[in-house]
Structure 1
Amino acid sequence: MKKFEEKTYESETIYKGKIVQLDIDSVTLPDGQTSKRELIRHPGAVAVIALTEEGKMVCVEQYRKPMEKSIVEIPAGKLEPNEAPKPCALRELEEETGYTSDDLEFVTSFYTSPGFADEIVHLYFTDKIRPLENQPEGDEDEFVELIELTVEEAEALEKEERIHDAKTAYAILYLKLRNAL
């Protein structure tokens, strides 16, 4: 038995959408008591820290309905069924920014909200990008604006809460540490 393991004895899917699924799991706790857990199931995602030749971080600004505001983020997107993270990262970089790369380096993976969701983000880095010859059409329901920022400019946007998501905050810290070494 795993330390603090909660054994599921019943699971009910309440909602299944394009992006997430909501399950209610009935569990037995380590002390024998029972409880219910509300779980968001997500297929996983990727994000890319991409730097221009000038060392600027490639970001996109887009409206995020859950927060009811536009925020600036590194390029990212959802994994499709059976899609490997690295090709997905390249696809998202191309679709959202019009840049491509032959050199995506895996950085890490992390859970976004492990208290209630199983979403995992696979993070990649490249400082070898080039514009695509033919600019791709983005998703029909996605409207983004390309923004290139120095680390200092990105930090200023964090203070203004225009950068306000974990993956982009992680990217800024990663770049600061990378430059410090």
Structure 2
Amino acid sequence: MSHKKFEETTIETKPIYQGKIISLQVDTVRLPNGNTSTREIVKHPGAVAVLALVDGKMLVVEQFRKALEKSQVEIPAGKLDPGEDPLDAARRELEEETGYRAGSIRLLHSFYTSPGFADEIVHLYLAEDLTVGEVNPDEDEFLEIEAITLEQAQQYMKEWRISDAKTITAVYAWQVYQLTGRI
């Protein structure tokens, strides 16, 4: 199947908002049938997330998420700085949020979070052979670190304490890893 038959050509881009992390634009596009439409698009620099395993448990952080108006339990994660290599960012975020350094770290997969309206891509890494360092969260980051079992992670998912895509993906990848020894 050719992706070209679905392609939309941008006629005009109208910037709406430019923030510290995201920007919002409205694009006027020509549809494959010749008609025009608009697309509201959130631009994001990309992010990393880390499935960090230590002593058979997964490291998570709990923090308040204003967009949801509640605390969430998530794997360590953060946005990419301009021009930053995702692997370097994964190492940085793991250490900043948990204090751990990875002896072994590798990319599991990269995925788009909401392709219907945003270009954010998340690079998910597996970190193992961890050694304890020093926690150094961003100045506006208040979080609590926990090491949880797979059963606890599954329970947190049932309770909606874990409900974000990157952490749910990591839990399922970890489950496959435990069952097969491979991801």
- TM-score normalised according to structure 2 size: 0.95
Aligned to 1:2: 4
Matched letter for residue 95 of structure 2: E
Give the Cα–Cα distance (whole angstroms) in 2 for the partners of residues 11 and 138 of structure 1.
36
Match of 2:24 in 1: 22
Query: Residue by residue, what CA displacement relative to the aligned partner does 1:92-150 show, whole Å, maximum 9, x if unpaired?
Result: 00000000113111100000000000000000002211101xx2431110101001100
- Structure 2 counterpart of 1:83, which letter? E
> Alpha-carbon deviations, 1:26-74, whole Å to 9, x = none?
000000000000000000000000011x210000000000000000000
Partner of 1:145: 144
Q: Secondary structure at the match of 1:127?
A: strand
The percent identity for this pair of structures is 54
Deviation readout 1:64-97 (Å, 9 max, x if unpaired):
0000000000000000000010000000000000
Q: CA RMSD in A?
A: 0.9
Alignment of 1:119-158 (within 5 A): 119-132=120-133, 135-158=134-157
In the alignment, structure 2 segments of 5+ residues that lack a partner are none
- Following the alignment from structure 2 to structure 1, what is the Cα–Cα distance between the partners of residues 88 and 135? 16
Alignment of 1:81-160 (within 5 A): 81-132=82-133, 135-160=134-159
For residue 4 of structure 1, what is the amino acid of its counterpart? F
2:53 corresponding residue in structure 1: 51
Q: Report the AA paired with residue 74 of structure 1.
A: I
Three-state SS of the structure 2 residue aligned to 1:164 is coil
- Cα distance in 2 for residues equivalent to 1:136 and 1:50: 15
Cα distance in 1 for partners of 2:103, 2:84 equals: 18
| In 2: Cα distance, 1:155 partner to 1:138 partner | 26
1:161 match: 160
Deviation beyond 2 Å, 4+ runs, structure 1: none
- Aligned AA (1:80): D
Counting matched residue pairs gives: 178
Does the residue aligned with 1:31 lie in a helix, a strand or coil?
A: coil
- What SS does structure 2 have at the residue aligned with 1:94? helix
Q: Is the 8 A contact 2:63 2:72 kept in 1?
A: yes
Q: Does 1:11 align with 2:13?
A: yes
Structure 1: give runs of 5+ residues left out of the alignment.
none
